[in-house]
Amino acid sequence: MEKSKDERLYGVAYWVTVGMSGLAILLCINQIFHLNLAGFMPIGNAYYYYILTFYLSLTYLIFPGKKGAKGRIPWYDWVLFCITIATTIYLAANAYNILTKGWEYEAPTLPTLAGALLWALALEGIRRAGGLILALISLVFSFYPLYAGYMPSFLWGSTFTFLETVRYHSMGVESIIGIPTRVVGDLLVGFIIFGVALVSSGGGKFFMEFALSLLGHSRGGAAKVAVLSSAFMASLSGSAISNVVTTGTMTIPAMKKTGYSPAWAAAVEACASTGGTIMPPIMGAAGFLIASFLNVPYTQVMWAAFFPASLYYLTLLIQVDSHAASIGLGGIPRGELPKTWTVLKEGWFFIGSLVLLIFILVYMRVEAWAPFYVMIFIFGCAMIRKETRYTWRKFGDFLVGSGRLLAQITSILAGIGLIIGSLSGTGVANSFSRELVLFAHGNLFLLLVLGAITSFILGIGMTVTACYVFLAIVLVPALVEIGVNGMAAHLFVLYWGCLSYITPPVALAAITAAAIAGSEPMRTGFLSMKLGSAKYVVPFMFVLDPTMILIGSPGEVAMTVTTATVGAVIFACSIEGYLYLVGKLSVVWRITFLISGFLLMYPNRITEITGLAIFIAGCLIKRRSSRMNMVPKINDVNSGL
């Protein structure tokens, strides 16, 4: 049969993936809606083992053992696939015994052997889905209980024997089937499938065309379209790299065509894609993990994340517009753009699905059910038009796409669970947080700088989600202990964990975009830093004052939102050297207005008033000097006459 987009999945492998993904979705629907289909209703931890049955096993079919391997799936991957299914089903079938007989501490030989296999499978799964560096980190930490008692100072912890470690990792509730895996099964699975359904039914194309119809004709229109469309798609996928690869192939050539340099086009796409992880309504996987760690509704995370993410994208749009104004770039001719009404008439239900999702989340408050209800709406509307209608093959590709994404997320989070389990079981997580506070001597700024550096370094070797989960265990408690708002602390490490994607020397998103644009990678990386500069500043702001994440009285929040928005516009314009109503700026004026914008963004009334005063004074002086410079030119003309 014809190959799918994944080179490994064709023939039997394709249909096995379709079947496994379909059964996994049925399992999740049965559990989330309490349907008790065919009398089957997993109890206790059994459900989470079954999640691994379907998605961890698929990792061995979808992701090759060797980088770049193509073609038919080798026999040993099929063996690992089958062993994963057998091991997890055995543990699921014994979930009641694990719970009632204390197998987490003392178990018979066969369950212990199954637990050792699951440990090894989880490590290999994270290697394939998350990369070698992340796998090595998980490997070292997973063995930590064996040598924790020999570590110095705050790294000392309780020591386990090898068999105790096996049982703790595989049958305990804080490791492989701990919080990360539970979030996948209880909440995340529906939203990931919803995102795949939206894209597979034509949502990606619709949002691209909709952005084109609205902004394509304006100056720098192609770049603005890239920002908006990439922000939306990255929010659904949660992966900066995959978003650059998918949307970047369309947006980067369009930007180059309208006059942007290859490096600029690549940097815009990299920054827009990297911001998706912090942008509601979905925020990839991290937002749901924050809700789980804080034990709050996901709508609270959405609410808190909305303004900082909007501020980031506002500065990005303003920089794009200011750059276009300063070098005289136009937009795409209207004749080459789709008509807004035509686009809306054909794809209105994509916007409708997002409105419906937010309505169900905010007003009906059934978070786990919401994406499944909205999917019924999407599939129903998609079947009306021939262009969006699902065929059997298209539906199969949808199942493969959702299976691939969930297999990757599940494998990474199961592997990260090993790290969490080791740090929690040995007690090192708590002692590490205490030592951080003592090291910083109670200095909030120093602790934030240490946290930012740690988050950035870990973000180099981990995915955004993996980095966040690790730091939520060891760093966030330290920030909270020193007085930082819990939501702000979690968002802080999330922001800094994804900055490595646009910061040299790594800058994976920028380098990927540079490959598409044909630009020099390091130059693209430094341009990405410049365009994404707000992302380095905003996290410190909302940690210092939670009104930035819309926590506080309405008056205080309104004042902060207003001053921060004005400050962000001035900040972005000064970076590009072009300020609205003033024109191009010299280096001195750029620095002056940069300070003004920063002070306005800083959540303190004195600094905000100071920043506003500097801005007003600067504008008056700059405009006056501009008029004075015009006088000699006018006199010269008169004398010439």
The 3-state secondary structure of 244-293, one letter per residue: HHHHHHHHHHHHHHCCCCHHHHHHHHHHHHHHHHHCCCCCCCHHHHHHHH
Rounded distance, CA 104 to CA 98, Å? 6
Instruction: Take residue 388 and report the two structure tokens written for it.
Output: 């969006």
Rounded distance, CA 27 to CA 34, Å? 10
> Same structural domain for residues 155 and 200?
no
Instruction: Take residue 596 and report the two structure tokens written for it.
Output: 């003004």
Asked if the model's pLDDT at residue 641 lies above 80, the reply is no
Phi then psi for 584, rounded to 5 degrees? -70, 150
pLDDT band at 626 (very low <50, low <70, confident <90, very high): low
Rounded distance, CA 27 to CA 281, Å? 25
pLDDT of residue 231: 77
Asked if the model's pLDDT at residue 284 lies above 80, the reply is no
> Same structural domain for residues 90 and 158?
yes
For residue 292, give Cα distances in angstroms to 180, 381, 478.
9, 33, 18
Rounded distance, CA 181 to CA 416, Å? 9
CB burial of 442-468 (b: ≥16 within 10 Å; e: otherwise) equals: eeeeebbebbbebbbebbbbbbbbbbb
Return the C-alpha torsion angle 18, 24, 28, 30, nearest 10. Answer: 90
Least confident of 88-102, 156-170, 305-319, 427-441: 427-441
- Mean model confidence pLDDT for the chain: 88
Asked if the model's pLDDT at residue 492 lies above 50, the reply is yes
Last residue of a domain, one of 142, 160, 181: 181
pLDDT of residue 633: 47
> Same structural domain for residues 165 and 204?
no
> Same structural domain for residues 209 and 345?
yes
Rounded distance, CA 311 to CA 482, Å? 26
- Give the count of alpha carbons within 13 A of 612, CB side only: 12
Asked if the model's pLDDT at residue 491 lies above 50, the reply is yes
Q: How many domains does the chain have?
A: 3
Least confident of 208-212, 376-380, 439-443, 634-638: 634-638
> Same structural domain for residues 269 and 243?
yes
Instruction: Return the amino acid letter for 569.
Output: V
Asked if the model's pLDDT at residue 153 lies above 90, the reply is no
Q: Where would I find the H helices in 440-475?
A: 444-461, 464-474
Asked if the model's pLDDT at residue 78 lies above 60, the reply is yes
> Same structural domain for residues 158 and 192?
no
End-to-end Cα, the chain, rounded Å:
83
Tens digits of residue pLDDT in 518-534: 999 989 999 999 999 99
Last residue of a domain, one of 132, 152, 181: 181
pLDDT of residue 636: 45
pLDDT of residue 617: 92
CA 376 from chain centre, in angstroms, equals 25
Of the ranges 187-191, 243-247, 325-329, which is most confident?
A: 187-191
Asked if the model's pLDDT at residue 2 lies above 50, the reply is no
- Rounded mean pLDDT, 482-494: 92
Rounded distance, CA 580 to CA 17, Å? 54
> Same structural domain for residues 169 and 194?
no
Q: Where would I find the H helices in 63-202?
A: 75-93, 95-100, 109-130, 132-142, 144-147, 162-171, 179-183, 189-200
For residue 107, give Cα distances in angstroms to 112, 119, 477.
6, 16, 33
Instruction: Take residue 183 and report the two structure tokens written for it.
Output: 């979030």
Token pair 């349907």 is found at 35
Q: 583: which strand partners?
A: 579
HEC-encoded secondary structure of 19-59:
HHHHHHHHHHHHHHCCCCHHHCCCCCCHHHHHHHHHHHHHH
Residue 103 near residue 97 (C-beta atoms within 8 A): yes
Domain with 636 in it: 565-641
Rounded distance, CA 184 to CA 98, Å? 21
Phi then psi for 448, rounded to 5 degrees? -65, -40
Phi then psi for 550, rounded to 5 degrees? 65, 35
> How do 578-579 and 583-584 pair as beta strands?
antiparallel
pLDDT of residue 640: 39
pLDDT of residue 543: 92
> Same structural domain for residues 197 and 163?
no
> Does a structural domain hold residue 480?
no
Report field, pTM of the whole predicted structure over 0.85: yes
> Does a structural domain hold residue 462?
no
Rounded distance, CA 432 to CA 475, Å? 8
> Does a structural domain hold residue 390?
yes
Please enumerate in sequence order all residues whose Cβ is within 8 A of that of 162, keeping only pairs 6 or more positions apart, or say none.
146
> Same structural domain for residues 173 and 245?
no
Listing DSSP states for 573-628 in one string gives HHHHTEETTTEE--HHHHHHHHHHHHHHHSS-HHHHHHHHHHHHHHHHHHHHHHHH
CA 84 from chain centre, in angstroms, equals 28
Sign of dihedral through CA atoms 89, 292, 104, 34?
negative
CB burial of 254-271 (b: ≥16 within 10 Å; e: otherwise) equals: bbbebbbbbbbbbbbbbb
> Does a structural domain hold residue 411?
no
Residue 134 near residue 189 (C-beta atoms within 8 A): no
pLDDT band at 639 (very low <50, low <70, confident <90, very high): very low
Instruction: Take residue 345 and report the two structure tokens written for it.
Output: 């008439």
Largest pairwise CA distance in the chain: 105
> Does a structural domain hold residue 532?
no
Helices and strands (H, E) in the chain, number of each type = 30, 2
> Does a structural domain hold residue 303?
yes
pLDDT of residue 354: 86
Please enumerate in sequence order all residues whose Cβ is within 8 A of that of 256, keeping only pairs 6 or more positions apart, or say none.
262, 265, 517
> Same structural domain for residues 80 and 171?
yes
Instruction: Return the amino acid letter for 558.
Output: A
Of the ranges 2-6, 235-239, 287-291, 581-585, which is most confident?
A: 287-291
> Does a structural domain hold residue 550?
no
Instruction: Take residue 279 and report the two structure tokens written for it.
Output: 């942008």
pLDDT of residue 571: 93
Instruction: Take residue 344 and report the two structure tokens written for it.
Output: 């809306």
Residue 231 near residue 313 (C-beta atoms within 8 A): yes
Which position has the higher pLDDT, 632 or 400? 400
Please enumerate in sequence order all residues whose Cβ is within 8 A of that of 195, keeping only pairs 6 or more positions apart, or say none.
236, 237, 282, 405
- Rounded mean pLDDT, 436-454: 83
pLDDT > 90: percent of the chain: 49
> Same structural domain for residues 169 and 219?
no
> Does a structural domain hold residue 5?
no
> Same structural domain for residues 289 and 165?
no
Phi-psi region of 365 (alpha: psi -120 to 50; beta: other; left: phi over 0): left
